[in-house]
Amino acid sequence: MDSRHQRIVFLGPPACGKGTQVSMLAARSGLPTVVTGEMLRRSAAAGTPTGLAAKEYMDRGDLVPDSVLNRLVSETLEDPAYAGGFILDGYPRTVDQAKFLTGYLQERQTPLTDVVAIEVPHDMLVRRQAGRLICKSCGRVYNRHYLPPPSEGRCACGGELYQRADDSEEVIRTRLEVYRTNTAPLLAYFRRQGVLREVDGSGVPQRVQESILAVLDRGGGPA
Ligand SMILES: [Zn+2]
């Protein structure tokens, strides 16, 4: 894949493997990543005016409003490190944010080239998350279905395994419904822009990565 001047956004529901795919693609393509959580922490630590404004909301436990987040993303992307392309993970999350990003990039004549949406059936996402077991001693994460611990209820280190309260099936289903409701308009927006690339995320990570590389190669050209 020719990664020059690719400006990519990644979208996907919780536990779809998005973080892994972004890391794999970044390593392979050399494209720098902008992960929203990291960007917020870094700008707050650096003490930029926008970073400090964002920190005020986060310290109160509030969502950072679009106006602040948009400014933060545009300030970040002005760094020459991103001039040759980038991968965005965790932004945009709303149509308003997507409109801002699209306008901002078009103004700079560096439009978004691809929006990779990782699709995984809900039942599989529920199984992935509801099966999670975490070690009380070392924090290692197992999965009842995909990565079972060496012995029932015990980590390799001997620690006791537990399930997080928000990993219950009901909580996960609600989380997925909320995601789907919020994201549907965003997908429709990018589909209209002609940049949406839907990828089946139900396979093993290597297989999913191959699908992503294939759609990125096709991106912009005839489908
Ligand atoms: Zn352990």
Task: Render pLDDT for 37-87 as a digit per residue (tens, 0 to 9).
Answer: 999 999 999 999 999 999 999 999 998 999 999 999 999 999 999 999 999
Between CA 163 and CA 168 the distance in angstroms is 8
User: For residue 136, how far is its CA from the centre of ligand 1 (angstroms)?
Assistant: 7
Distances in Å between the alpha carbon of 216 and those of 3, 98, 161, 213? 9, 20, 40, 5
Average pLDDT over residues 178-184: 92
The pLDDT of residue 128 is 86
Residue 100 has pLDDT above 80, yes or no: yes
- Residue that the structure tokens 């693609």 belong to: 25
pLDDT over threshold 90, residue 2: no
Query: Looking up tokens 């690339």, which residue turns up?
Result: 197
The amino acid that residue 172 corresponds to is: I
pLDDT for the residue 201: 96
pLDDT digits (tens, 9 = 90+) for 104-149: 999 999 999 999 999 999 999 998 888 899 999 999 999 988 889 9
- Residue 3 is predicted with a pLDDT of 57
* Active-site amino acid positions: 18, 93, 132, 164, 175
Position 93 confidence tier, pLDDT thresholds 50, 70, 90? very high
Question: In this structure, which residues have their CB less than 5 angstroms from ion ligand 1?
Answer: 135, 137-138, 140, 155, 157, 159
Hey, what are 51's tokens?
């970073």
**pTM (predicted TM-score):** 0.86
Looking at residue 180, its pLDDT comes to: 92
Q: Is the pLDDT of residue 89 over 90?
A: yes
- The CATH class given to the 6-31+84-118+169-218 domain equals alpha beta
Give the Å distance between the CA of 163 and the centre of ligand 1: 14
Sequence ranges of the domains in the chain: 6-31+84-118+169-218
Ligand 1 centroid – CA 94 distance (Å): 38
| Per-residue pLDDT band at 221 (split at 50, 70, 90) | very low
Beta carbons of 89 and 34 less than 8 angstroms apart = yes
Question: Ligand 1 centroid to 40 CA: how many Å?
Answer: 30
Helix and strand numbers, DSSP H then E, in the chain: 8, 8
Closest by CA to 119, choosing from 197, 217, 24, is 197
> In angstroms, what is the span from residue 162 Cα to ligand 1's centroid?
11
Q: Are the CB atoms for 220 and 111 separated by under 8 Å? A: no
Distance (angstroms) between ligand 1 centre and the Cα of 151 equals 12
pLDDT at position 222 over 50: no
